[in-house]
Structure 1
């Protein structure tokens, strides 16, 4: 099965120059913890609720902070024609719960989450990826 068969197609995109308050409101309205970030029709990053909590609020930045100041700019993504098994292994290896999906022209066409994978597969690949993602952390891990 290919990524395009499981991905969520209706993806909202945060603008790199909008505020984290606007991004947080969009996340709240979608009940999502992450948004792809676009600038001039290009995928330039991802912003998560964790980015807002740690890189903004945790560092004393206010709600008017721009998304591009706290987003993750090293964007990992997958292609819509890749096999889900391959992408799921990669998600576990790089410890990501969701990936933007692009076509071969690198246009954003969707987002793939572990939940999407769990809905369409019966081979346990979502669980395998989650076990890779949820590896215990370092000295300050709460799982110790």
Structure 2
């Protein structure tokens, strides 16, 4: 019988709010040895995720947009709206300034296999697990899946 996400996820994960000061969120990541954390509103609904990748904007800054001038007109070679978003992330001081809003999620009843495929396809390291109201009930990481694989191998070896 295939296991569900609920069987291997970490229940009731740590979360931060969009208004959390970035310095405090980084301290939570460090103190708990985690590389990402769900961002929830006051009701526990998922509104984003903050990961090490998001934090890299603070370290690297936003590159200046490439542009050319032609007959006293400025022509941007990079989308100015995207540059403004990158600049906002580079200068942000709150979690909402850096968090990723489009979050790939899993459900508790989803199979581990399907969740692992989603993680692989979307190139994500973790999936917040949400209920029907998008409230965060757990988190599934690559490490959780690998640990479950190890348990499965041990069970197979013991039954032989």
If the length of structure 1 is used for normalisation, what is the TM-score? 0.77
From 16, 19, 22, the counterpart of 1:17: 19
Within a 5 Å distance, the mapping from 1:31-110 to structure 2 comes to 31-41=33-43, 42-54=45-57, 56-59=58-61, 60-61=90-91, 65-110=93-138
Q: Report the 3-state secondary structure (helix = DSSP H, G, I; strand = E; otherwise coil) of the residue aligned with 1:14.
A: coil
Q: Unmatched 5+ residue regions in structure 1?
A: 125-144
Secondary structure, in 3 states, of the residue corresponding to 1:53? Answer: helix
Give 2:139's match in structure 1, choosing from 98, 111, 121. 111
Q: Gaps (5+ residues) in structure 2?
A: 62-89, 154-160
The runs of at least 4 consecutive aligned structure 1 residues that moved more than 3 Å come to none
Aligned residues: 121
Report the aligned-residue RMSD.
1.7
- Name which one, 1 or 2, has greater alpha-carbon Rg: 2
Match of 1:7 among 6, 9, 29: 9
Q: Is the 8 A contact 1:2 1:84 kept in 2?
A: yes
Displacement, 1:43? 0.8
